Homo-oligomer: A and B are copies of this chain.
Amino acid sequence: MSRSYKISIIGSGRVALHLSRALEDAGHQIVEVYSRNIGNATKVTERLYGAKPVNSLDFSFSKSKVFFIAVADDALSDIAGRIILPENAIVAHTSGTGGLAVLHKFPFSGVFYPLQTFSKQRKISFTTIPLCLESDNKEALRVLKEIGNSISKSIYFLNSEKRKSLHLAAVFASNFTNRMLAISKEILEGQGIDYGILDALVSETVNKALEGDPKVMQTGPAARKDFKVMKEHLKLLENKAEWKNIYKVISEDIANNS
């Protein structure tokens, strides 16, 4: 068992919820959970052992050593500007796009970005989640690494520039992939076909693409430049201008790279 830290969580969203649970499971003590809205903070502390919900950013008297800021990207700099921390506290945000610089006024600051998609109602094991760490302070990095190792087997050290590219890659791999599946579900439902018909296909596609090189694995009408089939597909999308557009630009990109 590694050292146990006293930790406060700023934020009450999905990352805050899952991270606080994982930290507690690893033996750390969650002291406080902050949300502007105390009710939201309570929704997180309810699922923890001894954490206190708070709605003030003044942590001058907090017993915590480490503060994780897990808020929406567009709230990050505002929170960073207003939060008051105890002396020598270590503070890290969990954002993929937020730079290290947003915490520049704190001497012991860093980034602790878990690369995963979190849902409120799905339990998730942190063990395999890549944690991307960054700090230009040696002591902060040491502690973040220690905490990281206590919850995950997969620690990466990435500077802000690389982390931004990683986040962009994750948008394609996760958010956009999810949208492709949402579109296919709607197409099927429009025809009264069970969405579950895609299970085996999607699983095999993704296993293949993760084990090998998806560029080489590319199949489908665009990859074989089968313009007749693509034309028929575009016709089926006639009343769906946005999907037609998506179909076109991705097919063009596939055809140009096959």
A-side interface mostly: helix
- Specify how many copies of this chain sit in the oligomer: 2
Assess whether A179 is in contact with B236, with CB atoms less than 8 Å apart.
Answer: no
A243 at the interface (CB under 8 A from B): yes
Size category of the binding interface on chain A: 35 or more
Assess whether A177 is in contact with B190, with CB atoms less than 8 Å apart.
Answer: no
Assess whether B172 is in contact with A183, with CB atoms less than 8 Å apart.
Answer: yes
A171, A210, A247: most-surrounded residue (chain B CB, <10 A):
A171
Contact of A170 among B201, B237, B243 (CB under 8 A): B201
14 A–B pairs (Cβ distance < 8 Å), ordered by A: A117-B208, A128-B199, A129-B200, A156-B197, A158-B193, A169-B184, A169-B185, A169-B193, A179-B254, A180-B180, A181-B210, A182-B209, A185-B215, A246-B253
Assuming A115-B201, A165-B188, what are 17 further A-B pairs, CB within 8 angstroms?
A73-B221, A115-B200, A118-B219, A119-B208, A129-B200, A156-B193, A165-B236, A168-B233, A170-B201, A171-B220, A172-B180, A175-B218, A176-B180, A179-B254, A185-B214, A202-B210, A242-B249
